[in-house]
Structure 1
Amino acid sequence: MASAIDTATADPEPAERAPAPAQRAARPAEPASRAQPQTNPPSPSRAEPRAWLNRLRRFRWRPVSPLTRRIIAVNVLPLLLLAVGFLYLGKFEASLIGQQTESLHTQGEIFAAALSEGAVLDSADEGEILLPDLARQMMRRLVEPTRTRARLFDIDGKQIADSRLLRGPGDAVQVIELPPVEHKGLLGRLTDRIYDWIAELVPSRHKHPPYRESDTGNAQDFGEAVRALRGESGSAVRSDPQSGGLVVSVAVPVQRYKQVLGAVMLSSGNGEIEEELRTVRLELLRIFGVALLVTILLSLYLAGTIARPIRRLADAAERARGRGARVEIPDFAGRGDEIGELSRSLREMTDTLWQRMSAIESFAADVAHEIKNPLSSLRSAVETVARIEDPVKRRRLMAIIQDDVERLDRLISDISDASRLDAELSRLEVAPTDIGAMLRALVDMHETTRADSAPHLTLDIAGPAGELVVLGIETRLSQIFINVIANAVSFSPPDGEIHIHAARDGRAVLVSVEDQGPGIPEDKLTAIFDRFYSERPAGEKFGTHSGLGLSISRQIVDAHRGRIWAENRTDAAGAVIGARFLIRLPAAPP
């Protein structure tokens, strides 16, 4: 025992300082090597780190998009909260404390039973007496296999034995257990520092009173020892300010035939609980680190599948805004998700805008061409009338000027109507419109106001009244039939007949307008709906029509999700006997 104690309390510094003379003796040889001149040029390999550092300085990290940061934060935050909750380990700590208390209580009962049987003197004069010297030796033997501290108090509360104090002829020697020598590398020390930093951030679930070493060595300084002297076992948990750990103490009464002769107090403060908590927490931190890495990688992948396509779409939209040429929008429709729908919608919107721009450019070119013709005629007539003195020729030129002015007025009115048609169709509210009643009103108005040689209109409506109802804008729907009827009237012979037929066609309303005119060339059945279509019937005064009527009608029908087309009427021999215009509009739901 003496040799073990001497070794434990000896100063280890002389053993560590023994090699110092050899080290000092070796140091004088260093200046000799430093004094040697460096004649060799620097190795080319030294330039490689500099070049690598220069490339690193030139490298610019691509900024992380806000969407990526939000996705990572949303995925990592619950994991962090879960990890912090795990690091509390309140129940696990309480379980360890309970196990430690139970183990010390069992050891204390063994110690108390051994002392009551082997260190008690049965005196006839004084009764049962606890022998201090014998009890001290037995305590030392009993505590050797354990790592606990044992203290023994007599019935008066005076400490008579302490496993940390060795008594002999001279003064008492205090035994202090040295911490084990650590052989940890840089990574281990770094892990310990990170753990200590995190452990300081995690608040303790339980607050324990501080442990203070007793100066008097009496049982009154420990509540559990006082309870043990009264015949009851007691325990306490305290925090050690020096080591930052916990000190668990259990006191058990030493009894002989139910008579309390003293108390044994066992204390465990060597950091076993903290070491268990540290092991579990480090394991949790390792698991958390792996889970965090996987979560971040998956978040980056998820953010890449979302943010990168959106960024490409935004860049394409930015390029399309700043250039006159058409920019192709990336196609992500194959993804089958919301980004694919967004890509498809942007592509369709871009195609529609380009078609609209092309239509506007074409419309502007057509308008310029159509206006240029009457303006040229008007300019020529104005320049000529100033040089002619013949009244007959002057009146003829003035009539030409008046016709050109009327033609310009009519053309500008139709152009204005066509240009504001889209905005009006998108702004006005649709309402149920009875096509049968509308056609009756148009036919009655024509028959009432027609000239003597104008063609007649006949109307045939199949089905009961109120069945031919569509959802649309009434004024614009009437403009369709006005334009089609006017076109049929202009191509019909004098006193001819125009037949109008209306009926239900499944879920739609079908209206046909048939005339007895010359028909339509087969290659012009579609072109007649183009703007400024100029082929007119023979004998009609030039400039009477602007060529926008059928184009406006088709525009209105398209806005109502309908269809308008033309075809020729033929007899049994296949000869063309007129034209037929058909308008199909979706019927209103019942």
Structure 2
Amino acid sequence: MNLRAFHDVIFLRSREEHSACPWPPSFWQKRERPRLSPLMLRILAVNVMALAILVGSLLYLGRYQDRLIATELDGLMMQARMSASAVAEGAVVLDRDERNILSPLLARLMIRRLVEASETRTRLYDTDDTLLADSQILLDPAGKVQAKQLPASTGLWLGDRAMGLFDLMDRIAAKSDYPVYPEDSIQRGNQYDVVKKAMEGEVAPQVWRMPQGGLLLSVAAPVQRYRQILGTVILTRPDTKINAAIQEVRLDILKIFGVTLLITVLLSIYLARAIARPLKLLAKAAESVRRGQTQMVGLSGTARLLNHNAIPDFSYRRDEIGDLSTSLREMTSALAQRISAIENFAADVAHEIKNPLTSLRSAVETAEKVRDPERQKMLMQVIRDDVDRLDRLITDISRASRLDAELTRDEAAVVDIEQMLSTLVGFYSLDKTGGEKTAAVVLNPKPSNELRISGVEARLVQVMQNLIANALSFAPPQSQVVVKAQAVKGGMIDLIVEDEGGGIPPNKLEAIFDRFYSERPKAEKFGTHSGLGLSISKQIIEAHHGRIWAENRQDDAGHVIGARFTVRLPAQSED
């Protein structure tokens, strides 16, 4: 099996799995995004809605209207008293019986002058509730003409529509406790409660609700002459000034609202672009990675995305989008490294499997041609050794390939270093299978019982077993393999395994942790190790956020007296 054939098998399986995917083809197609960002619409809706509710509540101005009504009624009451006093002084005559009565002619002339060029309507009733004078009816040679104040126009179609909208708002939100104004063609004083109260000598105010909308303010005052009530003056005034004041305030609010709305929209667009645009770029880049439209090139052992479809870097923002960008970039980089690692692993596996297969093929072909029983027996032993080597190699490869997934599933716990190492060393001291031909494993000095780390104890034991077994294979008989544990600076803990063997070639101190690298004693039978032990140990330690390295032990003269393997792991925090 060559490297190309091995890759073909892997990628064929990948295509088969992809073709068997239960998702529809539309899932893999590029999703069309709307031109206007939904996120921008949501931001605009929230900001503008909050502003509109605030402005709507301000435009209602209910309490402000009540204060204006009270002020207008106070002024109207004063005017009603003055009008009643003026009528009592200038429109009262004596009848045949020498009694004081109101003169309709004088009353009309006086009332007309009192309310001239005013929107206040003044009416005069006698004690029989008969209408004597009405300022809304002007006498001229042509007869009686009714005068009504017309509403002012803004001169602009949009302004008139806005005023109409405000009037509609007022009608909807108008108070319903005001009585409806009861005016008809035959006007009698007893139709109005305020007139009845005025006939009793009381100045009575009243607010009416007009059928066509709006309010009518009224005040009735008695016309008295020497404490004799001769009639009643009732003044009515529409809420024109009140509405004008409210409309003026509303227009000022609308001007402020317009400026505020413009600023809000601009800020919302800026905020939406500051959020939506980076997210859209990140989504587009992530989709490009998913669709395989990026180029991965290895630099210094790591794979990077180099073209314009790479994940954008927003880490300078120092916010959640920056964190998302950093996470996506790190995830993509890790994915690229994992793809590169898988390719390298596949190449290494193909190479390592090819060696015993080549040896096995050569032995089989030779065995067919050899007739010597001794040589055939020797070749059969070679075949058995190659088969065992393949079996061991495939088993170790299977374990190594599952290691990442198993490390992800394993739950970390607090590991007592002293207890773990004491149990492990005790196991080796009870194992007498090697007799005097093997070195002794000792724990010296005994670690402190305060040394603890967070990790998967079974995996850490596996690492220490690999290191101790490796040291035993190189240590001379009746020597010692020393196991140590100690705290170091930076909140770290070192686990150390030392032997008294021949050491490690200086140029191989890092290579021994590569996959399938095997540096065995000369006396050891070839092919008994797959070369994955130290590589697996390094993978486990790095998953625990630690590091592992090897170095040679030297005496005072600089001679190598053994090897030392150090595992450095972060200590368990006191929190």
Q: Which of the five TM-score ranges fits, normalised by the shorter chain?
A: 0.7 to 0.9
How far is 1:67 from its partner? 2.0
**8 Å CA contact 2:84, 2:233 repeated in 1:** yes
2:194 equivalent to 1:224: yes
Partner residue of 1:249?
218
Structure 1 pair 239–470 and aligned structure 2 pair: CA distance change class (3 A): closer
- Determine the C-alpha separation between the residues in 2 that align with 1:213 and 1:419: 98
Which secondary structure state, in structure 1, belongs to the residue aligned with residue 556 of structure 2?
coil
Structure 1: runs of 5+ lacking an equivalent: 1-60
- Determine the C-alpha separation between the residues in 1 that align with 2:568 and 2:41: 54
In the alignment, which of 244, 248, 260 is matched to residue 229 of structure 2? 260
Which secondary structure state, in structure 1, belongs to the residue aligned with residue 147 of structure 2?
coil
How far is 1:320 from its partner? 0.8
Structure 2: runs of 5+ lacking an equivalent: 1-32, 297-304
Structure 1 pair 74–493 and aligned structure 2 pair: CA distance change class (3 A): same
- Determine the C-alpha separation between the residues in 2 that align with 1:124 and 1:131: 13
Which secondary structure state, in structure 2, belongs to the residue aligned with residue 429 of structure 1?
coil
Structure 1 pair 333–389 and aligned structure 2 pair: CA distance change class (3 A): same
How far is 1:496 from its partner? 4.4
Aligned amino acid, residue 582 of structure 1:
T
2:416 equivalent to 1:470: no
Aligned amino acid, residue 269 of structure 2:
L
Aligned amino acid, residue 157 of structure 2:
R
Partner residue of 2:378?
396
Partner residue of 2:180?
210
In the alignment, which of 135, 144, 149 is matched to residue 173 of structure 1? 144
Q: Which runs of structure 2 are paired with 1:452-467 in the superposition (5 Å)?
A: 452=435, 454-463=437-446, 466-467=449-450
How far is 1:311 from its partner? 1.4
In the alignment, which of 91, 103, 110 is matched to residue 75 of structure 2? 103
Q: Which runs of structure 2 are paired with 1:143-182 in the superposition (5 Å)?
A: 143-167=115-139, 172-177=143-148, 179=150, 182=153
- Determine the C-alpha separation between the residues in 2 that align with 1:278 and 1:487: 93
Partner residue of 1:287?
256
Aligned amino acid, residue 246 of structure 2:
L
Partner residue of 2:520?
536
Q: Mean alpha-carbon deviation: is it higher for 232-241 or for 92-101?
A: 232-241
Deviation track 1:219-242 (CA, whole Å, cap 9, x = no partner) reads 122221222222222222223334
Partner residue of 2:559?
575
Structure 1 pair 521–235 and aligned structure 2 pair: CA distance change class (3 A): same
2:352 equivalent to 1:370: yes
Partner residue of 1:49?
none
Q: Which runs of structure 2 are paired with 1:162-561 in the superposition (5 Å)?
A: 162-167=134-139, 172-177=143-148, 179=150, 182=153, 184=155, 188-201=156-169, 203-207=172-176, 208-242=178-212, 244-269=213-238, 271-323=240-292, 325-326=295-296, 327=305, 328-447=310-429, 448-452=431-435, 454-463=437-446, 466-505=449-488, 507-561=491-545
Which secondary structure state, in structure 2, belongs to the residue aligned with residue 420 of structure 1?
helix
In the alignment, which of 543, 546, 551 is matched to residue 562 of structure 1? 546
Q: Which runs of structure 2 are paired with 1:21-170 in the superposition (5 Å)?
A: 63-122=35-94, 125-167=97-139
- Determine the C-alpha separation between the residues in 1 that align with 2:414 and 2:72: 87
- Determine the C-alpha separation between the residues in 1 that align with 2:152 and 2:217: 25
Aligned amino acid, residue 548 of structure 2:
I
Aligned amino acid, residue 318 of structure 2:
G
**8 Å CA contact 1:157, 1:229 repeated in 2:** no
The alignment-based identity, stated in percent, is 50
How far is 1:314 from its partner? 1.2
Structure 1 pair 420–287 and aligned structure 2 pair: CA distance change class (3 A): same
- Determine the C-alpha separation between the residues in 1 that align with 2:506 and 2:96: 144
Partner residue of 1:585?
569
- Determine the C-alpha separation between the residues in 1 that align with 2:512 and 2:421: 23
**8 Å CA contact 2:442, 2:480 repeated in 1:** no
Aligned amino acid, residue 500 of structure 1:
V
Partner residue of 1:9?
none
How far is 1:456 from its partner? 1.2
**8 Å CA contact 2:127, 2:199 repeated in 1:** yes
- Determine the C-alpha separation between the residues in 2 that align with 1:431 and 1:183: 79
- Determine the C-alpha separation between the residues in 1 that align with 2:250 and 2:272: 31
- Determine the C-alpha separation between the residues in 2 that align with 1:182 and 1:443: 102
Runs of 4+ in structure 1 off by over 6 angstroms are: none
Which secondary structure state, in structure 1, belongs to the residue aligned with residue 437 of structure 2?
coil
Structure 1 pair 443–255 and aligned structure 2 pair: CA distance change class (3 A): closer
How far is 1:257 from its partner? 0.9
Deviation track 1:283-340 (CA, whole Å, cap 9, x = no partner) reads 2122112211111111111121112111111111111111163442111111111211
